[in-house]
């Protein structure tokens, strides 16, 4: 049932999403809340505009989730950059045939 509602919400207007968000909160439908809050967060509406349509505690929760998502994305990017760096460093140690390169020796 929640999956069907989630599918419907993803196609709905932002006004309808906010209504479903409030209803899912009252009914304790956590997955539907998560979907709706994500859609509201991604709508681009400012917290001030959201506060005109939603209770302030709901707006605060959406802002918290958005901030946590940003921090998670930043950590993922940093991890990926480190992985690429290490792979490049490793590839410099081997020649095109996959055998270790000899260090240059100077007379």
Give residue limits of the domains in the chain: 2-92
Top pLDDT among 78 and 93 is at 78
CB-based contact 36:7 (threshold 8 Å):
no
Per 3-state DSSP, the chain is made up of helix, strand and coil in percentages (nearest 5) of: 75, 0, 25
DSSP state of 100: B
pLDDT at 86: 75
C-alpha dist (Å) from residue 18 to 28, 29, 71, 94, 105: 15, 14, 25, 56, 69
Query: Per-residue pLDDT averaged across 71-98, rounded?
Result: 70
Average pLDDT, whole number, for the chain? 78
What are the pLDDT digits (tens) for 43-66? 888 888 888 888 998 898 888 888
Which one is predicted more confidently, 56 or 87? Answer: 56
pLDDT value at residue 85: 75
Name the pTM for this structure: 0.59
């Amino acid at each position: 049932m929640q999956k069907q509602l989630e599918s419907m919400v993803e196609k709905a207007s932002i006004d309808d999403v906010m209504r479903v968000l409030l209803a899912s909160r009252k009914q304790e439908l956590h997955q539907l809340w998560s979907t709706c809050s994500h859609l509201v967060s991604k709508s681009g509406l400012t917290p001030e505009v959201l506060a005109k349509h939603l209770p302030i505690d709901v707006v605060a929760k959406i802002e918290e989730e958005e901030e946590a998502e940003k921090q998670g994305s930043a950590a993922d990017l940093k991890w990926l950059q480190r992985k690429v760096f290490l792979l490049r460093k490793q590839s410099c140690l081997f020649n095109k045939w996959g055998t270790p390169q000899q260090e240059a020796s100077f007379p």
